[in-house]
Amino acid sequence: MDAREKILGLFRQKPGDFVSGEQISRALGVSRTAVWKKIRILRDLGYEIEAVTSRGYRLLASPDLLMPAEIQSDLDTEVVGGKVVCLQQADSTNMRAFELGEQGAPEGTVVLADSQSLGKGRLGRRWESPAGVNLYASVLLRPAILPMEASQLTFVSAVAAVEAVAEISGLPARVKWPNDILIGGKKVAGLLNEMSGESERINFVVLGIGVNLNMQPEQFPEDLRYPATSVAIELGRPVSRIDFARLLIRRLDDLYGLYRREGFSPILRRWESHCDLIGRQVEVDLNGRLLRGTVSGLDPQGGLLVDSDGEQVQVLAGDVRPL
């Protein structure tokens, strides 16, 4: 962690308050003059910092750059966020987290990027990932489960994402099976979970979470599959990416703890409480074949149960559209 990050971590511990030059120089083990130089660098980066003789320094506004120290300060989680890696640019945070997983990075490692050049959606699709506005996160987990159970973790990340979006915005966010988060019927976040393992054993799982936070209408491509939005568009004001990253990490940590202790069923119940599909007429695109029917619920593995022509069909993968 570098000195600038440590200073930001200290500011975050006392939001809106002065931190004395003395305290910073002690925490960093450098002179007061060196502290002043670091403050100047932070100001050049866009941090608005007030300096008052005899009181110290106070952070007035931040450019919302992703920095591990700010994200980890007082995070107090069990597993998720123990290590946080922030990249200025990534091809895809999922690919970076996968690489870290192969190199033995600890469970709970979070990879964030300011922008992605090859943001991945499902089935080879692209995830639009402009710089400076959104959250692109991948979380490395090493759960003691079977490969066939790995899709359960998609529900863990979906519940964390929908609850974090609802909490930061106060808006009613909903989940759509299997991996979309919507506000007012428009997609605000998507999930892409990937696994490394053999037939009997999981090495690790990467939970990829993309959330449109401050993206503006002109930043969306025209040919999106579904109507899309961002938290800022819906709310009429921007939200802090750092605050959101912290909320999301805490939620994920709570839910992953619940999953480890009590298994999948409490996660599934919580997911259902955020979903409006149950009881509704839908059309499911099963890789080109269309199925119409009424959603009757989820099976214990998280598959969608659709009643169609008097028959109950279990859908394990596909795109669902309410009719």
Where do contacts with ligand BT5 occur on this chain (CB under 6 A)? 92-94, 116, 119-123, 125-128, 136-138, 179, 187, 190-192, 208-210, 212, 224-225, 228
Min separation Cβ 94 and ligand BT5, Å: 4
Min separation Cβ 9 and ligand BT5, Å: 24
Rounded to whole angstroms, the Cα distance separating 284 from 295 reads: 10
Phi, psi of 212, deg, nearest 5: -80, 105
Min separation Cβ 7 and ligand BT5, Å: 28
Quick one: 3 or 213, whose CB is closer to ligand BT5? 213
> Going by C-beta distance under 8 Å and a sequence separation of 6 or more, which residues neighbour residue 308?
291, 292, 293, 294
Rounded to whole angstroms, the Cα distance separating 300 from 273 reads: 15
Quick one: 216 or 312, whose CB is closer to ligand BT5? 216
Min separation Cβ 271 and ligand BT5, Å: 16
Mark out the alpha helices in 29-122 (DSSP H runs). Answer: 32-44, 68-72, 93-102
Quick one: 7 or 154, whose CB is closer to ligand BT5? 154
- Taking CB atoms, the residue at the shortest distance from ligand BT5 is 190
Q: Residue with structure tokens 């030059």?
A: 21
DSSP, collapsed to helix, strand or coil, labels residue 49 as: strand
Rounded to whole angstroms, the Cα distance separating 83 from 309 reads: 50
Quick one: 49 or 95, whose CB is closer to ligand BT5? 95
Min separation Cβ 10 and ligand BT5, Å: 29
Quick one: 39 or 80, whose CB is closer to ligand BT5? 80
